[in-house]
Amino acid sequence: MKKGKKKPGGIYSYIVKNFAGFVLDSIVIMVLCYFVGVGILDNIFTNYFKRLGYSEELINSDDVELLEAQNAMYREAEKSPDYGSFKNRMFTVMIIVVIMYFVLLGLVVAIAAFKMKRRIVKPLGTLNAEMEQLSLSELSETELQSSGLTELDEITMSFERMTDRLKESEKERRSLEEGRAKMLADISHDLKTPITVIQGYSKAVLDGIADEETKKRYLTAIYNKSQMMSDLINSFHEFSKLDHPQFILNIEKHDICEYFREYLAMRYEELELAGCELETELPEEEVIISFDSAQLNRVFENIINNSLRHNKGNMTIFSGLTVTEDSVVIRLGDDGIGIPEAIREHIFEPFVTGNEARTSGGGSGLGMAISKKIVEAHGGELVLIPGEERGTTYEIRLPIGEKSGSAKIA
Q: Please give the distance of CA 251 from its chain centroid, rounded to a whole number.
A: 33
Which tens digit of pLDDT belongs to each residue from 8-31?
A: 556 666 677 777 777 888 888 888
Domain end residue (candidates: 128, 148, 168): 148
pLDDT at 121: 67
DSSP-derived letter for residue 402 is G
Same-domain pairing of 112 and 195 = no
DSSP-derived letter for residue 274 is T
Residue 356: is its pLDDT beyond 50?
A: no
pLDDT at 50: 79
Residue 360: is its pLDDT beyond 50?
A: no
pLDDT at 141: 58
Q: Which residues contact 198 (CB under 8 A, 6 or more apart)?
A: 222, 225, 226
pLDDT at 64: 74
Which tens digit of pLDDT belongs to each residue from 78-128?
A: 777 777 787 888 888 889 888 988 888 888 888 877 777 776 666 676 767
pLDDT at 407: 45
Output the CA–CA distances (angstroms, integers) from residue 240 to 193, 237, 296, in the order listed: 22, 5, 17
Same-domain pairing of 275 and 381 = yes
Same-domain pairing of 225 and 323 = no
What is the sign, positive or negative, of the torsion defined by CA atoms of 86, 88, 94, 100?
negative
Residues 379, 275: Cα–Cα separation, whole Å: 35
Same-domain pairing of 22 and 136 = yes
Same-domain pairing of 202 and 284 = no
Residue 154 lies in a domain: no
Residue 406: is its pLDDT beyond 60?
A: no
pLDDT at 375: 92
Q: Are 163 and 7 in contact (CB under 8 A)?
A: no
Same-domain pairing of 185 and 217 = yes
Give the mean model confidence (pLDDT) for residues 251-278. Answer: 89
pTM, rounded to two decimals = 0.52
What is the sign, positive or negative, of the torsion defined by CA atoms of 8, 11, 12, 18?
positive
pLDDT at 329: 94
Asked which of 148-157, 269-278, 285-294 is least confident by mean pLDDT, the reply is: 148-157
| Counted domains in the chain | 3
Side-chain half-sphere CA neighbours of 162 within 13 A: 11
Same-domain pairing of 215 and 188 = yes
- pLDDT: is 105 or 146 the higher one? 105
Among candidates 236, 320, 229, 235, which has minimal Cα distance to 281?
A: 320
Same-domain pairing of 381 and 268 = yes
Same-domain pairing of 105 and 200 = no
Same-domain pairing of 395 and 366 = yes
Residue 331: is its pLDDT beyond 80?
A: yes
pLDDT at 147: 55
- pLDDT: is 389 or 206 the higher one? 206
User: What's the CATH code of the domain at 329?
Assistant: 3.30.565.10
Residue 259: is its pLDDT beyond 90?
A: yes
Residue 408: is its pLDDT beyond 50?
A: no
pLDDT at 24: 86
Residue 1 lies in a domain: no
Residues 42, 63: Cα–Cα separation, whole Å: 18
Most confident of 55-64, 174-183, 377-386: 377-386
Residue 354: is its pLDDT beyond 70?
A: no
Residues 177, 274: Cα–Cα separation, whole Å: 41
Among candidates 188, 275, 198, which has minimal Cα distance to 233?
A: 188
Same-domain pairing of 184 and 99 = no
Residue 238: is its pLDDT beyond 50?
A: yes
Residue 366 lies in a domain: yes
Q: Print the domain residue range for 108.
A: 11-148
Residue 167 lies in a domain: no
Domain end residue (candidates: 195, 219, 242): 242
Domain end residue (candidates: 185, 210, 242): 242
Asked which of 238-247, 264-273, 389-398 is least confident by mean pLDDT, the reply is: 238-247
Residue 312 lies in a domain: yes
Residue 378 lies in a domain: yes
> Would you place residue 261 in the very low, low, confident or very high pLDDT band (cuts 50, 70, 90)?
very high
Residue 6 lies in a domain: no
Which helix (H) or strand (E) segment holds residue 174: the answer is helix 150-206
Average pLDDT over the chain, rounded to whole? 78
- pLDDT: is 215 or 13 the higher one? 215
User: What's the CATH code of the domain at 189?
Assistant: 1.10.287.130
Give the mean model confidence (pLDDT) for residues 328-354. Answer: 79
Residues 278, 315: Cα–Cα separation, whole Å: 9
Which helix (H) or strand (E) segment holds residue 58: the answer is helix 56-60
Residue 357 lies in a domain: yes
pLDDT at 173: 79
pLDDT at 162: 77
Same-domain pairing of 69 and 135 = yes
Most confident of 33-37, 78-82, 168-172, 286-290: 286-290
**Percentage with pLDDT > 90 across the chain:** 10
pLDDT at 179: 67
